[in-house]
Structure formats: C-alpha cells, structure tokens
Amino acid sequence: PFVASIVPQAPEDPLFGLMAAYKADTSPQKVDLGIGAYRGDDAKPWVLPVVKKADDLIRSDPELNHEYAPIAGLAPLTSASQKLMLGGDSPAIKENRVTSLQTVSGTGAVHLGALFLSKFYRTVYPSTAIYVSNPTWANHAQIITNVHLPVATYPYWSPKTRGLDIDGMLSALESAPARSVILLHVCAHNPTGVDPTQEQWKQIAEVMKRKAHFPFFDCAYQGFASGDLARDAWAVRYFVDLGFELVIAQSFAKNFGLYGQRAGAFHYVSAPAAEAQDTTKRVASQLAILQRSEISNPPIYGARIVAKVLNDPGLFAEWEENLREMSGRIISMRNALRGKLEELGTPGTWNHVTDQIGMFSFTGLNEKQVGLLRSEAHIYMTKNGRISMAGLNTKNVEYVARAIDKVVR
Ligand code: PLP
C-alpha cells in the first residue's frame, strides 16, 4: 500500500482551530481572547517603535545581503542574548561556561534542548523523563515526544486557590527519580499566568539541587511580564548562582513582537568546575552538529533586528520603554477586568486576575461557560478557560466582564 494509506487523520491544532472560528464569526461584537500575541488598545497587532527603527537602519545599509548565517547563528545576537538572559556580569559568562545558538524562535530552542538531552543525557541517565508543569504550553509534550523522551508532569495549578500548588509541586520534585529533567517557565507561565514568588523559587531550587535534577528553563516572556528584564529573568540567574548545570530556551517573539520572524536562542550553561570551559566547548560542537542536520543555519532577518537593539544602548533603552508599555497595558487590563467583575458582584473571587502575570490568565471558567461565552457573546478563548489579556482593551473589557458575569451566575 501507499504510505499515505496507513496515515490516520490528525486532530486540528486547537489554538489554530479557535483562530479560524473567530475569523469566520461575522458579529461586530466578537472578541478574540485566544490569541497568544500582543494587541494594542485598538485590538491590532503592534509593531514596536524600536523594531521599526532598527528595521529601517538595517534596510538602509547598502551592504545588506542575504547570505547564510553561521551554523550557530549571528554572533552579535547570541552574545547579547546571553547577557540579556544571565545578566551582563554573570560569572558563567565570565568563566566561558555558556554556549549559545540562535534558534527558530522559542519552539526551535525547546526542540534543540530536548534533542540534545535525548542524545546525550539519556545515555547516562536512561530512565530520565522530562517533567513539565500541569498544565503547560500545549506544544511542550509533543516537542519532547518527537525526540522520544518520556514526558511526566508535576502539579502546578491549584483550581481551589486559582494559584500555584507549591506543595504539590515540591512533593512531586521530591519523589521524581534523582537527575530528572524539570522544565520550568521562567516567568509569565503559559497557560496559567501564575509564577512562583522568589521565596517559592528558592524552595524549588533547594529540592532540585538536593535531588540533582536538571533545570530546563523556557523563557518566552522576559520583560513582557513585569516590564523589568532583570526581574523577569531572576529565577534563571538564581539557579546559575547556585551552580546548576542547565539549559535555557529563549524566545524573542513576544518581547520584540517578532512572532513570525522566528528569532530565539538556546543556551547551555555548564556547572562551575575546573574543566567547565572544555566541557562547554564539547557541548557546543555537538549542538552545532544537531543544528546543522536540522536547519543548517537559522533565519537572519529577525535576529538582525534583535541584535541591533540589544547591542545599541540607545535602542535598548527604547526597547525597555516599549516593554513597559506592553506589560503596563496588560496589567491595566487585569485591573479593569477584576474591577468590573467585582463591581458587578460576579459570584466567586477575582483577585487571581490581578495576581497572575503576563499574557495569559487562567480564569477558572469551565468548559461549559467557555462554550456559552462563544455561542452567546462571540467571545473566544481556549476550552481550559485561559484568556489572553492582550485581547482586552478599554472598548471591550466591560462587555467581556458582563458576559462572564452572565455565564457564571
Ligand atoms: N514557550 C512558551 C511557554 C510559550 O508560551 C511559547 C509561545 O507561545 C513558546 C515557548 C515559543 O514561542 P515561539 O516559538 O513563537 O518563540
């Protein structure tokens, strides 16, 4: 038989299906709370002014060409993104124990990390699984499974408190086999919007150190969560200070608004040791082979924009301003939504809307309520009750609050 004859129909990607349904809806009142991309108060995509400026500068260069990037990507991008992630004065950078590759955005970085671990970590620790939070970004499990690593989960969201289930998380880390790989969202956890506090991060690090677990950080929202780049990267820097060997997947999709440009980086950090420089070099050589065999070399355009901004102090300061605008608008929408719901006396508590951070909020709405919001009010969100705060604006927040109020009663 033809190969195709034994290929089963795959289910549609739920998020992309949701986008299509929203597009097809002709109601003028429709609201898209599914979208994982920033929107301005006018509900339109926003090109960051600093990105526009860097783009113009790059385009005006008469020497601009479209040659291949090196296998590891553009050096000005990888070196600046290391500093952005780990801090300019990071001991790991000074001691040459970080190696970085430019990747196909955050997804490509998660994939490269998983592929690397499946090839090398598993040979030493064959029973290793990658533990992901329950719930997590929908793509994590399939990226990990694609490279034939087992996926396990640790508790994260507590439906009762609509916050972090820290006890459940800590005890799962405690009972996982030693040297497990633990995938952690650095900030603005997707889909819940719930991040550990710094005190909780310290508890997480303590168990992980004792159990010799391997941290795999996914950082898709640095600067987008609090508006402060260092604060959003705090957890990674803390783990590096504790001397962990770890990896980081870094995306520039959200914090630069460069979604379709696929700009990102993967970082491997060796633990401090006399031979750390050598082991890091060896890791770099293997990562280069994995990269070469899969994509040869990464895409250049978005990376040029990011590199330009990160390496120019004036543009960098403007970028921080743009980040504060995005995160500030989102935080103000959290306050507005909670305020309206409380004003309406909507049953339940709504403090979690403002306690959570970043692009998403896990509202606690159930599948039936989500369905009603869609059929009755043309408001679109994922079935798990996750809303994208970026879809709210001063014109629709009251409409959304009233609709939520109606389905909750
Ligand atoms: N990781 C998390 C937790 C995400 O939410 C996302 C995007 O939604 C990504 C990684 C990767 O995004 P991209 O590949 O667009 O950089």
Q: Is the per-residue pLDDT at 326 higher than 90?
A: yes
Structure tokens that stand for 143 in this block = 């990226």
Angle at 357 between CA 354 and CA 359, to 5 degrees: 115
Can you point out the beta strands (E) in 141-262? 151-155, 157-158, 163-164, 181-185, 214-219, 246-251
Q: Which of helix, strand or coil describes residue 12? A: coil
Residue 107 near ligand 1, beta carbon < 6 Å: yes
Measured between alpha carbons, how far is 392 from 303 in angstroms, rounded to an integer?
30
List, for residues 150-160, the tens digit of each pLDDT value: 999 999 999 99
pLDDT at residue 118, as a whole number: 95
Residue 184 near ligand 1, beta carbon < 6 Å: no
Burial class (CB in 10 A: 0-12, 13-18, 19+), 286: middle
Q: Find out whether 108 and 264 touch, Cβ atoms under 8 Å.
A: yes
Measured between alpha carbons, how far is 87 from 80 in angstroms, rounded to an integer?
10
Binned at pLDDT 50, 70 and 90, residue 323 comes out as very high
**Looking at this protein, which amino acid is placed at residue 288?**
A
Report the atom number in ligand 1 closest to the C-alpha of 185. Answer: 3
Report the atom number in ligand 1 closest to the C-alpha of 136. Answer: 3
- Å from CA of 20 to ligand 1 middle: 20
Q: Is 350 a catalytic residue?
A: no
Burial class (CB in 10 A: 0-12, 13-18, 19+), 38: buried
Catalytic residue among 32, 55, 195, 218: 218
ipTM: 0.99
Ligand 1: residue of 139, 187, 216, 248 to mutate (most ligand atoms within 8 A of CB) is 139
Q: What is the mean pLDDT of residues 208-228?
A: 97
Binned at pLDDT 50, 70 and 90, residue 267 comes out as very high
| Whether the predicted model's global pTM rises above the 0.80 cut | yes
Q: Which residues contact 301 (CB under 8 A, 6 or more apart)?
A: 261
pLDDT at residue 46, as a whole number: 97
Measured between alpha carbons, how far is 48 from 40 in angstroms, rounded to an integer?
10
Ligand 1: residue of 81, 105, 137 to mutate (most ligand atoms within 8 A of CB) is 137
As beta bridge partners, residue 132 has 153
Residue found under tokens 């952005």: 84
Q: Is the per-residue pLDDT at 222 higher than 90?
A: yes
Q: Is 137 a catalytic residue?
A: yes
Structure tokens that stand for 398 in this block = 């009251």
Measured between alpha carbons, how far is 290 from 153 in angstroms, rounded to an integer?
27
Q: Which residues contact 167 (CB under 8 A, 6 or more apart)?
A: none
